[in-house]
Structure 1
């Protein structure tokens, strides 16, 4: 496969907003309301001013299929990541997005550790992290309130020394 990540550009805004607002994506986010175009543009512009934030588009064969946010909390060392796919992306694309994004994080950004979070009911995201080699580093019980109920948050970490890129 010809899988790459590239920097998100202004022309990607509408597509990424559509993905983000899709109910199958939105239900797993901390912010579950439908994001407006103005909110989205403001987020993008603010992110452009943050040198530690990497907004990336995952492409396969030049077709955009997913979004990745790598936010360096300790520049050059530790970052939090988040991601989502085009809701109609083919099966298996998520794993390829993860592998490609982590290769970027460790080889291009030179990170020591990538951290992830998942709401405890998001079993797919939890399995996704574990399949990529992340270790579960803890559970914050009833950490997130979605306006109706509390949810625990699972925390994951993957050190560069643990990263096993596929052969």
Structure 2
């Protein structure tokens, strides 16, 4: 289940985002401080093209789904999405894989349901083969690649997309 994020969620979202496994798979790998996190949250709340939801697995907050680029009109608006999970909590409950699958399915359903998107896009580091495989399993196809510097090193970024009618 996905639900709106509130101010009360901010501390746990930052803790999840700062987990070493999440940082390793992100385009921004430094540890995020409280002030930076609050600036991000203020920017999200002020921007109608962005939406952040909390994923609950078995009624326990377990992850975050972000959408950006919302607000297109017409028959096929598009948006970008990303996610991260509560690695420690889910691993402790032996629920990491089921939650990961559940989050992906919930995010897709929300994108093509309540958000009314025609195309959902994402970007994944090529080295993150587990996420790329999950996206493929859920119907995403590769739509391009580019190189991005992360921590001073060239990293290949794979763009993926999923159409509503795929």
Common topology (TM > 0.5): yes
Structure with the largest fraction of helix: 2
Alignment-derived partner of residue 19 in structure 1 = 16
Structure 1: distance between partners of 2:34 and 2:66: 18
Provide Cα deviations, 1:28-87, integer angstroms capped at 9, x if missing partner. Answer: 111100000010011011100111111000012321010000112552510000001101
Structure 2: distance between partners of 1:51 and 1:148: 33
Alignment-derived partner of residue 133 in structure 1 = 139
Provide Cα deviations, 1:102-140, integer angstroms capped at 9, x if missing partner. Answer: 111111010000001101111111111101100111221
Alignment of 1:63-102 (within 5 A): 63-73=60-70, 75-76=72-73, 77-88=77-88, 89=90, 90=95, 91-102=97-108
Q: Secondary structure at the match of 1:92?
A: helix
Name structure 1 gaps, 5 residues minimum. 163-167
Q: Which runs of 4+ in 1 moved over 4 A?
A: none
Structure 1: distance between partners of 2:31 and 2:114: 33
Alignment-derived partner of residue 117 in structure 2 = 111
Name structure 2 gaps, 5 residues minimum. none
Q: TM-score, normalised by structure 2?
A: 0.90
Q: 2:45 aligned to 44, 48, 64, which one?
A: 48
Alignment-derived partner of residue 156 in structure 2 = 152
How well do the aligned residues superpose, as a CA RMSD in angstroms?
Answer: 1.2
Alignment-derived partner of residue 57 in structure 2 = 60
